Amino acid sequence: MSLKKVASKHTPRLKVKFIKKGICYADNGVIVVRKPYSRANLFEYLHECAHAVLGHLKGSRTRYREEYEADRYVREVFRVEKLKVPKNTDKRQRAYIGECIYNAILHGAKTIELEPYKYAFGIDLS
């Protein structure tokens, strides 16, 4: 299946504004993102869609938790569609979740959820 068809199949019923470059985000029910022309861009596109699908636009969870959940959602879509997550994308996404965890600690978080921590840092704490 083409990347365009995968994107269309997994896009929630929200307004999508395409930009040529820059960051991607969801704002007031509008997803602002680059067009999915590669697997890396498709991951980024679906990641922003996942925030909307998972109800993250309300900001009721920690940032690292929302990023972790969106990441896992996209990885499941990639698995179902038999697409491989590019290595650089994988590395960047995990590093970003790690950065969000670090920022939570800097801002006074007393505890950090284990699942996102293990996922971001690739550490087995069991």
Whether the per-residue pLDDT at 126 is higher than 70: the answer is no
pLDDT, averaged across the chain: 85
Please report the pLDDT score of residue 77 as a whole number. Answer: 94
- Are 50 and 73 contacting, i.e. CB atoms less than 8 angstroms apart? yes
For 59-88, how does the pLDDT look when each residue is reduced to its tens digit (9 = 90+)?
Answer: 678 999 999 999 999 999 999 999 999 999
Domain count within the chain: 1
Judge whether residue 1 has pLDDT over 80. no
Whole domain around residue 87: which residue ranges?
A: 3-121
pTM for this model (two decimals) = 0.83
Q: Is residue 107 part of a domain?
A: yes
113 domain-assigned: yes
Question: What pLDDT is attached to residue 28?
Answer: 65
DSSP state of 108: T
pLDDT tens digits, 30-40: 777 888 889 99
Q: Is 8 within the bounds of a domain?
A: yes
Q: Which two tokens stand for residue 12?
A: 């929630």
SS3 22: coil
In a domain, 126, yes or no: no
Q: Look at residue 34 and tell me if it is in a domain.
A: yes
Concatenating the DSSP letter of every residue in the chain gives: --HHHHHHHT--SSEEEEESSS--EEETTEEEEE---SHHHHHHHHHHHHHHHTTGGG--S-HHHHHHHHHHHHHHHHHHTT-PPPHHHHHHHHHHHHHHHHHHHHTT-S---HHHHHHHHT----
Residue 98 lies in a domain: yes
